[in-house]
Amino acid sequence: MTRLHDLYHEHGQSPWLDNLRRSWITGGELARWVERGVRGITSNPTIFQKAIDGSDVYDEQFRELTRAGAPVEDAYWTMVLDDIRAALAIMRPVHDASDGVDGYVSVEVAPDLAHDLDGTVAAARRLHDEIGEPNLFVKVPATAEGVEAIRTLIAEGRSINVTLIFGLDRYAEVMEAYIAGLEAHDGDLSAVRSVASFFVSRVDTEVDRRLEAIGTEEALALRGKAAVAQAQLAYGRFLETFTGPRWQALAERGAKVQRPLWASTSTKNPAYPDTLYVDTLIGPDTVNTMPEATLEAFEDHGTLARTVDADLDAAARTLDRIREVGVDLDDVSRVLEDQGVAAFAKSFDELIASLSAKADRLR
């Protein structure tokens, strides 16, 4: 048993791996992570850009696809979905043993659909139907259009990982979309699962930048505190939302809570502890998806204690102080959402350009 096993069995938090590459699948590394306690996998366009551009593992398949006449973007999706299917097979025993709590693999809709409601719904349907596995999460960004797509997809009984959540107001909209979708679904609610991916470290990066621009002693003393405080308050809202008569009526029909998933939990500032965004956000019914370096660090020296709701009043006071010194947290969340969408689109576009150049060389 490792600290990752203890994180789940003693504290109710599922450690997931925020990375995927074909060499890990074929070389057994992914299976070894599962043995060490990893209970799910997340991916995104940036992860696949690094995996495909950063090695020659995909070259043979790409060569075959392009020679057969496949357009470059179609070839990309074929390679990605092959990796997703292989990862789903590795994670399926975890899914079955946990009665559908864990064992999920997430794949994101194309990033250019972030503000396209109809396109997002169609793409998510296509991915679910084409893969057809119960432990697949399709990732939908929590833009305004994405929130509406979530409601529609949940109402259809599709399991969704809601990604790119940066603020408390948008998180409340995401939870409402999930509950409203369940209420509109007339099938088996126990088969519908969802996580809400609340991004953490990027919040500190942006807030710290603004605090340093303000430059007062009080502002500088608040660096590195916004992200954890906001995520802890998000957990408080989660506890409030998934209780009471409205939720109880759904729970009696088999509905499961939409677990908060802490994303972007590697420490960007080297001055901060390498397990900062894990140690401070531990609690029941949560997920923390970590890159391998953060998993290694937590496995070595992470803290095992319920911390996510240890002092919600203190978390609220921290955000109040940050606002009082002049940081507009609503604007922070808007900026980070725009940056997140743009970053994934950039990775996708760069990879398609790289693959197009490679296809030309092969021809």
Q: List the CATH number of the domain containing 321.
A: 3.20.20.70
Contacts of 90 (CB under 8 A, 6+ apart): 25, 30, 31, 34
For residue 80, pLDDT over 90 is answered with: yes
For residue 74, pLDDT over 90 is answered with: yes
For residue 363, pLDDT over 70 is answered with: no
Choice among 139, 225, 256, 358 that is catalytic: 139
pLDDT tens digits, one per residue of 162-171: 999 999 999 9
pLDDT tens digits, one per residue of 125-164: 999 999 999 999 999 999 999 999 999 999 999 999 999 9
pLDDT tens digits, one per residue of 86-96: 999 999 999 99
Determine the Cα–Cα distance for residues 284 and 256; give it in Å rounded to an integer.
14
Q: How confident is the model at residue 71 (pLDDT cuts 50, 70, 90)?
A: very high
Q: How confident is the model at residue 56 (pLDDT cuts 50, 70, 90)?
A: confident
Determine the Cα–Cα distance for residues 204 and 321; give it in Å rounded to an integer.
15
Amino acid at 338: D
Share of the chain above pLDDT 70, in %: 100
Mean pLDDT, all residues of the chain? 96
Is 139 noted as a catalytic residue in this protein? yes
**Within 10 A of 298 (CB to CB), how many other CB atoms are there?**
24
Share of the chain above pLDDT 90, in %: 91
How high is the pLDDT of residue 305? 97
Structure tokens of 70? Answer: 């496949």
Determine the Cα–Cα distance for residues 73 and 65; give it in Å rounded to an integer.
11
How high is the pLDDT of residue 5? 98
How high is the pLDDT of residue 361? 79
What is the residue range of 84's domain?
Answer: 3-362
State in Å, rounded, how far the first CA of the chain is from the last one.
51
CA-nearest of 263, 260, 306 to 285 is 260
131 by Cβ neighbours in 10 Å (0-12 / 13-18 / 19+) ranks as middle
- How many domains is the chain partitioned into structurally? 1
CA-nearest of 45, 101, 30 to 292 is 30
Q: What is the mean pLDDT of residues 261-273?
A: 97
Q: What is the mean pLDDT of residues 39-58?
A: 90
